[in-house]
């Protein structure tokens, strides 16, 4: 089992050469392309009837021990929508599942931790990942996906603050008050935890890339809950290491968080090649400010997809128009697809982006 991971060769030799010139990889490298690529966060999952049919009732962590099932779920939205990328069906908590720290993902709730982390002793329960064992199923799922795919596979991991938040809070939190209190009261505990989580993030991304992922995204969804001051004092050093080490993997890296308007300048300075945006920001002005430094992704409010299709398409048009200010833009939502979304709506967005995106980029080349 483990041999696959151990014998993996370097990232660039594994990446299918055709995918280096795919529209997503080129856009994220800020090379010119003739249209805007499109994929959706949470494109795989509960909004798809074919997913509900094969998903079963087990916890997602159990599903992820079956690489063939994880691969099939990953491929479903690519077949249905013709999106420009697949994203691995996994979870930001999946790498921790084998570590015996009482992590589970509860349906309708999210990640829960039996005994939340509060002290250095708790942090020491978090042993380093042994990729050949702990990530073996993930590595196989990646391989099964890339064998089938003609578009890039996006690998991913959680950002250190977001995972730390689940481990310390013990369950999803709105205020993130417990994690912030610990960061301020016992910064050494937080730093030790974040250090280990960055190591885990790099180990996870490395396995994904060596087995064939052509792009990776870091989901640090809750980073925007920090004030700029706490971000700079406590989170930034870890993100700087994560940015440096992930970029060394040789594939484009997207960093994503919600409510990051107050942190955008700091995030751009971290040096990730691409940033994912939520819908609370004005894409045109961000494109003007930062578009020469990073590729941008996202911005359509996932709730809008519950409105009638004509309105969804006009919101899509607006984003495409705003994105023409950005030299490199990837169409996506500002957060994950909501489970109640009609798949026909996503299909209509993909068609529109493929048509209109081509006109926009084509026109800007003249
Ligand atoms: O299609 C994709 O985007 C890939 C799949 C993916 C999942 N989780 C599958 C999943 C990705 C990229 C994630 C990342 C993830 N997981 C994040 C970061 C992105 C974000 O939404 O901010 C976070 C915060 C988590 C933690 C998590 N896992 C939550 C909050 C939930 C939802 C709980 C619920 O049932 O409402 C999960 C479970 C989960 N992960 C589901 C899916 C499709 C839903 C239930 C399931 O299939 O069991």
Q: Judge if the beta carbon of residue 161 lies within 6 A of ligand 1.
A: no
CA 275 – CA 287 distance, rounded (Å): 11
Q: Judge if the beta carbon of residue 108 lies within 6 A of ligand 1.
A: yes
Place of tokens 């009609």: 342
Model pTM greater than 0.85? yes
Choice among 47-61, 69-83, 152-166, 328-342 with the minimum mean pLDDT: 47-61
CB 236 within 8 A of CB 192: no
Position 199 scores a pLDDT of 98
CB atoms closer than 10 angstroms to residue 29: 17
Place of tokens 């939205």: 77
Position 19 scores a pLDDT of 87
Q: Judge if the beta carbon of residue 44 lies within 6 A of ligand 1.
A: yes
Position 15 scores a pLDDT of 63
How remote is the CA of residue 108 from the centroid of ligand 1, in Å? 10
Position 308 scores a pLDDT of 98
Residue from 30, 35, 42, 356 carrying the catalytic annotation = 42
User: For residues 78, 343, 309 and 352, what is the CA-based torsion angle, rounded to 10 degrees?
Assistant: 10
Position 20 scores a pLDDT of 81
CB atoms closer than 10 angstroms to residue 364: 11
Residue 339 has pLDDT above 60, yes or no: yes
Residue 4 has pLDDT above 50, yes or no: no
Position 17 scores a pLDDT of 66
Residue 179 has pLDDT above 70, yes or no: yes
């Amino acid at each position: 089992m483990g041999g696959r991971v151990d014998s993996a060769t370097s990232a660039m030799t594994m990446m299918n050469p055709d995918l280096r010139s795919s529209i997503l990889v080129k856009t994220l490298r800020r090379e010119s392309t003739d249209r805007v690529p499109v994929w959706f966060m949470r494109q795989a999952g509960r909004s798809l009837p074919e997913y509900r049919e094969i998903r079963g009732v087990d916890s997602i962590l159990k599903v992820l021990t079956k690489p063939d099932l994880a691969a099939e779920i990953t491929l479903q939205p690519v077949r249905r929508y013709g999106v420009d990328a697949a994203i691995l069906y996994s979870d930001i908590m999946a790498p921790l599942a084998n570590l015996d720290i009482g992590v589970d993902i509860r349906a309708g709730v999210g990640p829960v931790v039996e005994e939340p982390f509060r002290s250095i002793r708790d942090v020491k329960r978090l042993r380093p990942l042994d990729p050949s064992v702990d990530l073996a199923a993930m590595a196989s799922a990646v391989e099964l996906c890339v064998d089938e795919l003609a578009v890039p596979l996006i690998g991913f991991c959680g950002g250190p603050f977001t995972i730390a938040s689940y481990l310390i809070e013990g369950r999803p939190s709105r205020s993130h008050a417990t994690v912030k209190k610990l960061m301020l009261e016992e910064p050494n505990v937080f730093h030790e935890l974040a250090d280990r989580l960055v190591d885990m993030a790099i180990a996870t991304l490395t396995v994904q890339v060596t087995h064939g992922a052509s792009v990776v995204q870091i989901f640090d969804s809750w980073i925007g809950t920090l004030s700029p001051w706490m971000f700079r004092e406590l989170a930034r050093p870890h993100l700087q290491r994560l940015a440096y080490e992930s970029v060394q993997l040789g594939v484009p890296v997207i960093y994503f968080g919600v409510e990051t308007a107050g942190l955008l300048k700091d995030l751009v300075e971290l040096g990730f090649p691409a940033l994912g945006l939520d819908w609370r920001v004005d894409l045109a002005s961000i494109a003007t400010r930062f578009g020469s430094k990073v590729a941008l992704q996202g911005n359509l409010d996932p709730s809008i997809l519950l409105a009638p299709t004509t309105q969804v398409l006009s919101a899509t048009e607006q984003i495409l128009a705003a994105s023409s200010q950005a030299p490199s833009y990837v169409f996506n939502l500002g957060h994950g697809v909501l489970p109640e979304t009609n798949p026909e709506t996503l299909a209509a967005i993909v068609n529109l982006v493929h048509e209109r995106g081509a006109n926009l980029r084509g026109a800007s080349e003249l």
